[in-house]
Chains A and B, each alone.
Chain A
Amino acid sequence: MSNKNWPLWEVFIRSKSGINHKHVGSLHATDAEMAIENARDVYTRRSEGVSIWVVPSNTITASDPEQGDELFEPAQSKVYRHPTFYNLPDELKNM
Chain B
Amino acid sequence: MNTIDLEKEFQRKLDAEEKIEPKDWMPDDYRKTLIRQISQHAHSEIVGMLPEGNWLTRAPSLRRKVAALAKVQDEAGHGLYLYSACETLGVERDELLEQLHTGKAKYSSIFNYPTLTWADMGAIGWLVDGAAIMNQVPLCRCSYGPYARAMVRVCKEESFHQRQGYEIMLTLCNGTPEQKAMAQDALNRWWWPSIMMFGPNDADSPHTAQSMQWKIKRFTNDELRQRFIDATVPQADILGIKIPDPDLKWNEETKHYDFGSIDWDEFWAVVKGNGPCNKERLAARNKAHDNGAWVREAALAYTEKKRKKTAA
Tell which of B59-67, B167-175, B293-301 binds the partner.
B293-301
Q: Which residues of B contact A (CB under 8 A)?
A: 1, 21, 23-25, 70, 73-74, 76-77, 80-81, 84-85, 87, 92-94, 150, 153, 156-157, 290, 293, 296-297, 299-300, 302-303, 306-307
Beyond contacts A4-B297, A6-B299, A66-B1: 19 other A-B pairs, Cβ-Cβ < 8 A, are: A2-B296, A4-B300, A5-B93, A5-B94, A6-B296, A6-B300, A25-B80, A25-B85, A25-B153, A26-B84, A41-B77, A42-B77, A42-B81, A43-B77, A45-B70, A45-B74, A46-B157, A64-B23, A65-B25
27 contacts between A and B (CB under 8 A): A1-B293, A2-B293, A2-B296, A5-B94, A6-B299, A8-B84, A25-B81, A25-B85, A25-B153, A26-B84, A27-B80, A27-B84, A30-B299, A30-B300, A31-B303, A31-B307, A34-B299, A41-B77, A42-B76, A42-B77, A45-B70, A45-B74, A46-B156, A62-B23, A64-B23, A65-B23, A66-B1
Interfacial chain A residues near B306, Cβ < 8 Å: 31
Interfacial chain B residues near A14, Cβ < 8 Å: none
Interface residue tally for chain A (C-beta within 8 Å) = 23
What's the least CB distance linking B23 to chain A, in Å?
A: 5
The reply on A28 being an interface residue by CB < 8 A is yes
What's the least CB distance linking A69 to chain B, in Å?
A: 11
Find B80's partner among A1, A3, A42, A46 (CB 8 Å cutoff): A42
Find B94's partner among A3, A34, A46, A66 (CB 8 Å cutoff): A3
Q: Which A1-25 residues have C-beta < 8 A from chain B? A: 1-6, 8, 25
Which of B21, B84, B85, B307 is the most central at the interface, judged by chain A CB atoms within 10 Å of its CB? Answer: B84
Q: Which A34-59 residues have C-beta < 8 A from chain B? A: 34, 41-43, 45-46
Given contacts A31-B306, A45-B77, contact A2 B300 (CB under 8 A): yes
User: Which chain B residue has the least Cβ–Cβ distance from A3?
Assistant: B94
Find A28's partner among B23, B73, B93, B303 (CB 8 Å cutoff): B93
Interfacial chain B residues near A46, Cβ < 8 Å: 156-157
Given contacts A25-B150, A42-B77, A66-B25, contact A5 B92 (CB under 8 A): yes
What's the least CB distance linking B10 to chain A, in Å?
A: 11
A8 to B22, CA, bound (A): 15
Find B87's partner among A26, A62, A65 (CB 8 Å cutoff): A26
The answer to whether B303 and A25 have CB atoms under 8 Å apart is no
Interfacial chain A residues near B81, Cβ < 8 Å: 25, 42
A46 to B70, CA, bound (A): 11
A4 to B80, CA, bound (A): 18
The answer to whether B92 and A30 have CB atoms under 8 Å apart is no
A66 to B24, CA, bound (A): 7
Given contacts A42-B77, A42-B80, A62-B23, contact A30 B93 (CB under 8 A): no
Interfacial chain B residues near A42, Cβ < 8 Å: 76-77, 80-81
Given contacts A5-B93, A5-B94, A30-B302, contact A25 B84 (CB under 8 A): yes
Interfacial chain B residues near A4, Cβ < 8 Å: 297, 300
